[in-house]
Amino acid sequence: MIAASKITFSRLCHEELTRVKDRDGIGLYAEKRLHSVLKRWVWDDLSCHEQKVVTRDEKKTRFVADVLTPSGEIVEIQTASLYPMRKKIAFYMEHTDHPVTVVHPLIAQKHICWMDPATGEITARRRSPRRDTPIAALGELKAFLPYLGNPRFTLCLPLIALEEFRLLDGWGNGGKRGSHRYEQLPTELLDTHFLVSRADYGALLPEGLPESFTAKVFGKATGLRGYALYDALAVLEGLGFLAKCGKDGRSVRYTVL
């Protein structure tokens, strides 16, 4: 189980920032800085990184774990959508006996820095209204529903603060509209949530929901919308925390069990 501290995370962020400065510029590897910090935060022994995984009967496979600890725990770090990992995680859960932890950072605090694409000069910096919370992860977990609550599967959700650098290379609003993200540099670990048991997922349900409610009401209570909203409802229903209880016009109504 991951037990790295906030102090360790801050130290690693500083080391990554120093490495950026040493190489004369920000972000040589797009968004790999965040991944690198998290991998070292999980296990700061490079000999355990990028390890081939074999089946329980010792057959070789194409799968490589981000971290394979000496005790046999597999850790995968995914800073983007979790959906592309579905086949890899299914293989670990069904063909090995390794405990599996997926580390999925949530952005709880973000500043956006705008860069002149020609000079690299920072022209503006502002705080983003984005505030991810643990329930935001539910919208990513529909593909992993068979493993949620399995004692071998853990979801680790670091809530982080970061600086996002964007190029002023868009077509509107001074180059901001349609701009490209250049780099994300983590700066601080604010909190860490672990989801292991079935009850951990149920604890994410917001308080104050009415006796029955629609997806629209649930979205207002959680900040979820679009596919993430409906996938979160499907996950909670699949885990037995919600049930459909009729319709309000064309909208399905749910109730908490």
pLDDT in single tens digits along all 257 residues of the chain: 566 789 999 999 988 877 654 444 444 444 478 999 999 999 999 999 999 999 999 998 899 999 999 999 999 999 999 999 999 999 999 999 999 999 999 999 999 999 999 998 999 999 999 889 999 999 999 999 999 999 999 999 999 999 999 999 999 888 999 999 888 889 999 999 999 999 999 999 999 999 999 999 999 999 999 999 999 999 999 999 999 999 989 999 999 99
* Tokens encoding 51: 């390890």
Q: Which amino acid is at 136?
A: A
Query: What pLDDT score does 23 carry?
Result: 45
Query: What pLDDT score does 166 carry?
Result: 93
Measured from the Cβ of residue 211, the count of other Cβ atoms closer than 10 Å reads 8
Query: What pLDDT score does 101 carry?
Result: 97
Query: What pLDDT score does 1 carry?
Result: 57
Query: What pLDDT score does 3 carry?
Result: 65
Residues 128 and 111: beta-carbon distance below 8 Å: yes
Residues 88 and 77: beta-carbon distance below 8 Å: no
Instruction: Kindly list the distances between the CA atom of residue 38 and the CA atoms of 33, 99, 102, in Å, as whole numbers in the listed order.
Output: 9, 18, 11
Residues 247 and 257: their CA atoms lie apart, in Å, by 17
CATH topology of domain 205-257: Arc Repressor Mutant, subunit A (1.10.10)
User: Where are the domain boundaries for CATH 1.10.10 in the chain?
Assistant: 205-257
Residue owning tokens 């490589």: 64
What contacts 7, CB < 8 A, 6 or more positions away?
A: none
Query: What pLDDT score does 21 carry?
Result: 47
Sign of the CA dihedral with 18 first, then 22, 24, and 28 last: negative
Residues 156 and 101: their CA atoms lie apart, in Å, by 7
